[in-house]
């Protein structure tokens, strides 16, 4: 009998005598014995101030004896079934076509797994705090094992197989358990063992996939292994490349460089290495490093590997080199669906929508489009305003694609976005309501679409329905839509309420987009002082967009020249050398309203010296599936002669009802005196509208998409045209949608 006395009078007796008849465990004079082969538990109550080494030695001895009895029957049974499995396998090899032999072998293996799992759960183990902090916490010993390791596995091969099995279990492995497996690997599996590489790479991957990834520890595991091969290098590089931390992406590139410059070439890059590194280069926009990787691809003879070539195309496209991406794409010996999707998506995201649609047409000749293709094509239709093509794509999905794509949340969300951006709110609502499942992105698309059209009440109704009925928690994008809706309708009080709710109730940190909406809301409502106070209280530095909103408000509200100059100065400082012409135009109007013509002249001279030119206005209109593009004063269109006849006809009808031009939206105010404002009648949207009147079918709205905000004069003229010609005109400018009908606009002249 072993007796250990505690300093506070308690006693712990551990008896190992007569173990076949049962083990007697006493704590403080109270004995526990369930007799024979039973599940033993040891409770130690109180704070036993014992020397940890003594407790460890005693506990190990007792556990060894207990486990020898407790799982002895299972060990015998497992050994018997393993022998049976060996015989079954030999019989199967002799007669592989005999019926039932392999099935019997598989059934035996499953039974062995079941027995080993039972054995695993029966084992008594010490919990993590068994030998530490004896003064601070009660010690416990239980059959619920914190350890994942089987202590009785003796064969190195069996041990390595068991460790691999543990690593591949679907249950989540914690950091302490992973370290146990790592320690057991170091103790039992030699680096020359056939399974060593596979074990260590699995351990590396698990360290990176923990809830809180420990990449530093993973790197130490990697460097501990002598002469790692390409498989291990790829694993470590992938671990860093997949991290969301930009510094880790750079670390992945450094590891690749180390791999390539090693004196002892124990590892060379393969077809798995290059895609990982190229992805890291694309994420960090490391064009120079990516080109070097491209050279390595050619050097090692992987230029015909489709997977690597796709990675190169994606890398160049992400870095903004669409010409190099397309060149690489057409040089590929074999192009799959992924290759086409990368190019179509890259052009759509790059704003080159017509090329994206052209490539989609090319793809259809060789491959069937998938869900990713459709998302990119729908986005291109939305950006280009090609409603008829968008309708065709929607019909294509419904008729030719499987049910999974028809019900795909992302595809339907893209359709909602496309219809909203094409001016078809009713169809957008129909698609949205028909969705079997709507996630947060789908709700955000609907709310943002309604806000863009100035449908503030509907946008807020959808928001309330999302939060109150569907119980979906809004995010920062949701509140951009909500605040934008309030902004487009001048709902200042509602905007303040939702901004406060965003921060206090939903703990959404305000971003520049949210501040920008609220500042613009104050500024448009003429509450410039409140807008300035908000800017001064912002938790982040305001950007050029916010300062430009204030400058625009100063211009419209006839604020002091000094305040306007201060706003312009802030814009110049924010944008630096890339400052757009819009700031000069706004400041010019401020000087003109104050009759400071010398300053207007100096401003124009400054623009000339800096090479600042006004961004040309461009409007597009789609007729019968063909997109037509117009610039101000454009005469390049094949039907220019007929278009200008309609322009002159419109001008005559406007004059007959007393129309006078509004010069307040002129590019530079002093152009009035130069006689150049005759170009107002030739603004790009007026040419597009004239073309629409000439070619559109009756009762079909004319849809025009412009790259700049509509000027005051064109806004007024378009209202008059809608009444004179009894036609609905939908104009999407840089900021929002305008629905003109019967001489009125949906924006209520508030834009």
Q: Which residues pair with 730 in a beta bridge?
A: 703, 739
Query: What's the mean pLDDT in 297-321?
Result: 93
- Confidence (pLDDT) at 58: 56
308 occurs within a structural domain: yes
- Confidence (pLDDT) at 217: 80
**The pLDDT of residue 652 is above 50:** yes
Distance CA 690, CA 388 (A): 20
Give per-residue pLDDT as tens, 502-539.
999 999 999 999 999 999 899 888 888 898 899 988 88
425 occurs within a structural domain: no
Among the ranges given (92-101, 177-186, 401-410, 545-554), the one the predictor scored with the smallest mean pLDDT:
92-101
The last residue of one of the domains, among 95, 116, 141, is 141
**Which residue stretches of 146-195 are H helix?**
156-167, 175-188
**The pLDDT of residue 735 is above 90:** no
The mean predicted confidence, pLDDT, of the chain is: 79
Residue 524 backbone phi and psi in degrees, to 5: -65, -30
- Confidence (pLDDT) at 598: 86
Residue 136 and residue 194 in one domain: no
Residue 286 and residue 382 in one domain: no
**The pLDDT of residue 311 is above 50:** yes
Order of strands, edge to edge, in the sheet holding 744-745?
626-631, 618-623, 702-706, 729-732, 737-741, 744-745
Query: What's the mean pLDDT in 686-702?
Result: 90
Residue 10 and residue 114 in one domain: yes
Query: What's the mean pLDDT in 323-340?
Result: 93
567 occurs within a structural domain: yes
pTM of the model: 0.68
Residue 721 backbone phi and psi in degrees, to 5: -60, -40
Query: What's the mean pLDDT in 264-277?
Result: 86
Contact 319/285 with Cβ under 8 angstroms?
yes
Query: What's the mean pLDDT in 528-557?
Result: 85
**The pLDDT of residue 446 is above 90:** yes
598 occurs within a structural domain: yes
More confident site: 683 or 156: 683
Residue 631 and residue 590 in one domain: no
Residue 323 and residue 362 in one domain: no
- Confidence (pLDDT) at 151: 43
To the nearest whole percent, how much of the chain has pLDDT over 90? 32
More confident site: 124 or 305: 305
Residue 220 and residue 262 in one domain: no
Which uninterrupted H or E stretch holds 31? Answer: strand 30-32
Contact 486/514 with Cβ under 8 angstroms?
no
Query: What's the mean pLDDT in 303-308?
Result: 92
**Which tokens sit at 103?**
């099935």
Q: Is 686 exposed, middle or buried (0-12, 13-18, 19+ CB in 10 A)?
A: buried
- Confidence (pLDDT) at 67: 63
7 occurs within a structural domain: yes
Give per-residue pLDDT as tens, 339-395.
999 999 999 888 888 888 889 989 988 988 888 899 999 988 888 777 888 898 899
Which uninterrupted H or E stretch holds 322? Answer: helix 322-331
Residue 728 and residue 658 in one domain: yes
The total number of structural domains in the chain stands at: 6
Residue 18 and residue 49 in one domain: yes
Distance CA 720, CA 714 (A): 10
Query: What's the mean pLDDT in 588-617?
Result: 82
Residue 115 and residue 215 in one domain: no
- Confidence (pLDDT) at 140: 35
Contact 459/477 with Cβ under 8 angstroms?
no
Please enumerate, as own/partner, the contacts of 434-440 that have beta carbons within 8 Å and a separation of 24 or more: 435/407, 435/409, 436/407, 437/407, 437/409, 438/409, 438/470, 439/409, 439/413, 439/472, 440/472, 440/473, 440/474, 440/475, 440/478
Distance CA 365, CA 721 (A): 43
Give per-residue pLDDT as tens, 313-329.
999 999 989 999 999 99
Neighbours of 495 (CB within 10 A): 24
More confident site: 102 or 308: 308
The last residue of one of the domains, among 374, 409, 444, is 409
- Confidence (pLDDT) at 121: 63
**The pLDDT of residue 20 is above 60:** no
- Confidence (pLDDT) at 211: 67
414 occurs within a structural domain: no
Residue 695 and residue 590 in one domain: no
The last residue of one of the domains, among 351, 377, 409, is 409
Query: What's the mean pLDDT in 591-604?
Result: 83
- Confidence (pLDDT) at 676: 44
**The pLDDT of residue 95 is above 70:** no
- Binned at pLDDT 50, 70 and 90, residue 571 comes out as confident
325 occurs within a structural domain: yes
**The pLDDT of residue 463 is above 60:** yes
Residue 709 and residue 733 in one domain: yes
- Confidence (pLDDT) at 149: 47
Instruction: Quote the domain boundaries for residue 364.
Output: 335-409
- Confidence (pLDDT) at 28: 37
- Confidence (pLDDT) at 2: 37
Annotate 34-61 with DSSP letters as a single string.
Answer: --SS----EE--S-----HHHHHHHHHH
474 occurs within a structural domain: no
- Confidence (pLDDT) at 60: 63
Give per-residue pLDDT as tens, 26-36.
333 333 333 33
**The pLDDT of residue 143 is above 50:** no
Query: What's the mean pLDDT in 544-555?
Result: 83
**The pLDDT of residue 21 is above 50:** no
**The pLDDT of residue 122 is above 70:** no
**The pLDDT of residue 689 is above 90:** yes
Give per-residue pLDDT as tens, 467-499.
999 999 999 999 999 999 999 888 999 999 999
* 3-state class (DSSP) for residue 630: strand
Distance CA 706, CA 20 (A): 90
Give per-residue pLDDT as tens, 230-256.
888 988 898 888 888 888 899 999 999
Residue 8 and residue 136 in one domain: yes
Query: What's the mean pLDDT in 98-112?
Result: 71
Query: What's the mean pLDDT in 142-152?
Result: 42
């Amino acid at each position: 009998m072993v007796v250990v006395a505690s300093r506070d009078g308690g006693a712990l007796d551990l008896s190992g005598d007569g173990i076949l008849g049962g083990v007697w465990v006493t704590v403080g004079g109270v004995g526990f014995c369930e007799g024979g082969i039973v599940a033993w538990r040891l409770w130690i109550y109180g704070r036993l101030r014992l020397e940890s080494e003594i407790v460890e030695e005693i506990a190990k001895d007792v556990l060894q004896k207990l486990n020898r009895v407790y799982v002895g029957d299972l060990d015998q049974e497992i050994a018997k079934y393993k022998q049976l499995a060996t015989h079954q396998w030999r019989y199967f090899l002799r007669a592989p076509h005999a019926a039932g032999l392999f099935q019997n072998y598989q059934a035996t293996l499953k039974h062995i797994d079941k027995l080993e799992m039972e054995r695993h759960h029966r084992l008594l183990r010490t919990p993590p705090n068994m030998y530490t902090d004896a003064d601070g916490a009660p010690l416990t010993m239980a059959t619920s094992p914190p350890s994942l390791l089987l202590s009785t596995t003796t064969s190195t091969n069996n041990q390595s197989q068991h460790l691999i099995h543990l690593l591949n279990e679907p249950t989540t492995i914690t950091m302490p358990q992973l370290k146990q497996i790592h320690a057991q690997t170091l103790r039992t599996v030699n680096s020359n063992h056939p399974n060593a590489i596979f074990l260590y790479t699995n351990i590396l991957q698990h360290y990176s996939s923990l809830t809180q990834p420990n990449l530093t520890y993973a790197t130490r595991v990697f460097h501990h292994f002598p002469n790692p091969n390409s498989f291990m290098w790829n694993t470590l590089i992938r671990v860093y490349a997949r991290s969301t931390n930009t510094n880790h992406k750079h670390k992945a590139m450094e590891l690749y460089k180390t791999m390539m410059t090693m004196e002892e070439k124990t590892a060379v890059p393969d077809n798995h290495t290059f895609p990982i590194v190229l992805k890291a280069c694309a994420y960090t926009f490391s064009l120079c490093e990516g080109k070097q990787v491209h050279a390595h691809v050619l050097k090692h003879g992987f230029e015909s590997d489709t997977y690597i070539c796709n990675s190169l195309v994606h890398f160049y496209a992400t870095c903004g080199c669409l010409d190099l991406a397309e060149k690489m794409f057409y040089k590929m010996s074999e192009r799959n669906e992924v290759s086409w999707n990368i190019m179509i998506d890259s052009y759509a995201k790059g704003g080159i929508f017509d090329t994206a649609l052209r490539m989609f047409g090319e793809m259809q000749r060789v491959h069937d489009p998938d869900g990713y293709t459709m998302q990119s094509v729908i986005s291109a239709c939305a950006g280009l305003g090609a409603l008829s093509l968008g309708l065709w794509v929607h019909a294509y999905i419904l008729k030719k694609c499987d049910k999974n794509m028809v019900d795909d949340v992302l595809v339907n969300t893209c359709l909602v976005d496309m219809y909203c951006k094409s001016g078809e709110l009713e169809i957008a609502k129909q698609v949205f309501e028909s969705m079997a499942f709507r996630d947060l992105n789908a709700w955000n698309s609907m709310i943002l679409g309604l806000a863009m059209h100035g449908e503030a009440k509907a946008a807020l109704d959808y928001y309330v329905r999302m939060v109150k009925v569907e119980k979906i928690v809004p995010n920062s994008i949701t509140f951009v839509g909500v605040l934008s809706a309030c902004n487009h309708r001048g709902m200042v009080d509602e905007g303040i309420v939702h901004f406060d709710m965003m921060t206090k109730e939903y703990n959404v940190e305000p971003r520049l987009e949210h501040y920008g909406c609220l500042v613009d809301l104050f500024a448009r409502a003429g509450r410039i002082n409140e807008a300035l106070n908000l800017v001064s209280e912002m938790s982040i530095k305001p950007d050029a967009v916010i300062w430009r909103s204030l400058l625009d408000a100063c211009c419209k509200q006839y604020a002091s020249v000094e305040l306007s100059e201060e706003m312009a100065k802030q814009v110049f400082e924010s944008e630096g050398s890339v400052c757009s012409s819009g700031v000069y135009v706004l400041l010019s109007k401020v000087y003109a309203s104050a009759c400071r013509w010398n300053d207007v002249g100096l401003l124009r001279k400054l623009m000339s010296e800096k090479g600042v030119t006004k961004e040309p206005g461009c409007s597009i209109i789609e007729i019968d599936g063909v997109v037509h593009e117009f610039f101000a004063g454009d005469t390049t269109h094949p039907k220019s002669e007929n278009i200008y006849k309609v322009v002159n006809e419109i001008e005559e009808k406007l004059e007959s009802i007393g129309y006078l031009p509004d010069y307040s939206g002129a590019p530079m105010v002093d152009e009035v005196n130069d006689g150049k404002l005759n170009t107002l009648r030739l603004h790009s949207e007026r040419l597009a509208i004239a073309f629409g009147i000439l070619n559109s079918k009756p009762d079909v709205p004319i849809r025009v998409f412009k790259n700049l905000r509509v000027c005051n004069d064109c806004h007024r003229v378009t209202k008059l045209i809608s009444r004179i010609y009894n036609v609905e005109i939908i104009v999407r400018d840089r900021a929002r949608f305008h629905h003109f009908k019967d001489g009125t606009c949906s924006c209520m002249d508030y834009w």
